[in-house]
Structure 1
Amino acid sequence: MPAVTLRLAQGTPCWVSLMTDDLAGARAFYGELLDWSYTPGPTQLGAYVRAESGGAPVAGLGVAAVPGFPVQWTTYFAVDSADRTTQLVRECGGTVAVGPLQAERAGRLAIAADVSGAVFGLWQGEEHLGHEAGPEPGGPAWAELLTPDEEGAAVFYGAVLGRPVAPVGAGSALLVGGRPVAGIRRGAELRGHPPRWRVHFAVQDVELTARRAVALGGRVLVEPHDSGRGPVARLADPQGGHFSVLRAGLR
């Protein structure tokens, strides 16, 4: 995969990051499951490494800065100005939990929550512009928001990111250059869980990956099944971080 040399267009999902209470365990699990290797990353928020697939950066893994913080994956969206976009988050009824702050020479980031409480990140890339693989195996393949208020979320993200949100299939999608880059849908399956952005990684074989996840100490939350984007399964790592796997080449 060619290296990313230009900042991704505003509103494009550009990075995913896991905050966990067991960085060594998470590194071992995802390294075996998705064939990741690791290099050091910025440490403003604590210990942090970048995961690579085939030599291309695909994700970040770090230690949660606040004890007891839920183990979870966060989707980051590319922005032209993290400072200006965080102001829009506040003006549109969201909250900003972290930043904007400088991540060494890599870029500028913020972590926020939308009007329903779903956490997401903003990334103004400088030396590090985002993931460089996907949807090839091991790379991020899709981002999808599950929310009890699809209409409110569509208005919020459209205003904050300055991109249109249009009906697509059973939900909505954020569009960049007329192309769907992230999904938004009403999450009936939340069942008392807070709204969240779901991270999907591409794999060659969804059923095999689900079995390997269990053998490595993880869990299958939703068995492999056919979806509008092809075979998919919902999994959890040994520390409780939820993620999905999607057959490579499908969005």
Structure 2
Amino acid sequence: MSALTLRLAQGTPCWVSLMTDDLPGARAFYGELLGWTFTQGPAQLGAYVRARLGEEPVAGLGVSSVTGFPVQWTTYFAVDNADRAAQLVRECGGTVAVGPLQAERAGRLAIAADVSGAVFGLWQGEEHLGREARPEPGGPAWAELLTPDAHGAASFYRAVLGVPVAEAEGGSALLVGGRAVAGIRHGAELRGHPPRWRTHFAVADAELTARRTVELGGRVLVEPHPTPRGRAARLADPRGGHFSVLEAV
């Protein structure tokens, strides 16, 4: 992350964080599957660690303090002012569950939900700027919202993040600097599950990663298959945290 000297442009997915009820197990599973090592995160966030690829932070893992809270990954979007963005969430019909609060000198954050209930984060980077998605195996590669109201979601994120939303194959996309940074599409396959942002990690081989997931105690939810962004698979970790993998191209 040393090459980054400026906060990522507002609206860019810049971080992903897992809340789980088994942090040691999550460290073992994702460390083996994606090649991560770990360092301690901000003490204010409790039992929280940062996953690294080499020296670069790529994700956070923490323990949920809410009994019965589902194990899940959260996508964070870079914002210039977390307090202002959180206020816009409320004005646009969403809710703010946590913050905005200061994470030591790393930055300022809030956790919110959009009009359909999909959870996401806001991150105003200071010492910790985050990481833009890219096709490097082991790191976040893409963020995609599955929702029953794709049109309403597009209007919500356009207003909250102040970025354009354009039609894309299979749905729409948030644009930053004219480039698609995240997708929104109608979640026909939700099948009773709540709307959610789906985190995709880049891997060299989707089939191999799916097999390894099962060997490590996880599950394959959807076998590797072609998508507009490359070959992908939907997986779950041993505690039920859903994530996807996307072959690096």
Q: Judge same fold: TM > 0.5, yes or no.
A: yes
Q: RMSD between aligned alpha carbons?
A: 1.1
The DSSP-based 3-state class of the residue aligned with 2:136 is coil
Read off the aligned partner of 1:52 and give its amino acid letter. Answer: R
Answer yes or no: is the 8 Å Cα contact 1:82–1:123 preserved in 2: yes
Normalized against structure 1, the TM-score is what?
0.97
Q: CA deviation at 1:5?
A: 1.6
Distance between the aligned counterparts of 1:222 and 1:89, measured in 2?
Answer: 32
Distance between the aligned counterparts of 1:131 and 1:179, measured in 2?
Answer: 16
Q: CA deviation at 1:131?
A: 2.1
The DSSP-based 3-state class of the residue aligned with 1:232 is strand
Q: How does 1:218-237 map to 2 (within 5 A)?
A: 218-237=218-237
Read off the aligned partner of 1:224 and give its amino acid letter. Answer: P
**What residue ranges of structure 2 are gaps of 5+ in the alignment?**
none
Distance between the aligned counterparts of 1:230 and 1:157, measured in 2?
Answer: 25
Q: CA deviation at 1:2?
A: 5.3
Distance between the aligned counterparts of 1:133 and 1:40, measured in 2?
Answer: 22
Q: CA deviation at 1:45?
A: 3.2
Moved over 3 A (4+): none
Q: CA deviation at 1:66?
A: 1.1
The equivalent residue for 2:176 is 176
The one-character-per-residue Cα deviations of 1:91-150 (angstroms, maximum 9, x if unpaired) are: 000000000000000000000000000000000000000026732000100000000000
The equivalent residue for 2:73 is 73
**What residue ranges of structure 1 are gaps of 5+ in the alignment?**
none
The equivalent residue for 1:47 is 47
Q: 1:80 to 1:23 in 2, by over 3 A?
A: same
The answer to whether 1:166 aligns with 2:166 is yes
The DSSP-based 3-state class of the residue aligned with 1:44 is helix
The equivalent residue for 1:238 is 238
Read off the aligned partner of 1:123 and give its amino acid letter. Answer: W
Q: How does 1:96-135 map to 2 (within 5 A)?
A: 96-131=96-131, 134-135=134-135
Answer yes or no: is the 8 Å Cα contact 1:41–1:48 preserved in 2: yes
Answer yes or no: is the 8 Å Cα contact 1:56–1:132 preserved in 2: no
Q: CA deviation at 1:43?
A: 2.9
Answer yes or no: is the 8 Å Cα contact 1:2–1:132 preserved in 2: no
The DSSP-based 3-state class of the residue aligned with 1:122 is strand
Answer yes or no: is the 8 Å Cα contact 2:13–2:132 preserved in 1: no
Read off the aligned partner of 1:50 and give its amino acid letter. Answer: R
The one-character-per-residue Cα deviations of 1:4-60 (angstroms, maximum 9, x if unpaired) are: 221000000000000000000000000000000001101323200000012211000
The equivalent residue for 2:29 is 29
Answer yes or no: is the 8 Å Cα contact 2:8–2:132 preserved in 1: no
The equivalent residue for 1:211 is 211
Normalized against structure 2, the TM-score is what?
0.98
Distance between the aligned counterparts of 1:228 and 1:129, measured in 2?
Answer: 29
The DSSP-based 3-state class of the residue aligned with 2:44 is coil
Q: CA deviation at 1:157?
A: 0.1
The equivalent residue for 2:18 is 18
Read off the aligned partner of 1:221 and give its amino acid letter. Answer: L
> Which region of structure 1 is more displaced relative to structure 2, 44-53 or 214-223?
44-53
Read off the aligned partner of 1:127 and give its amino acid letter. Answer: E
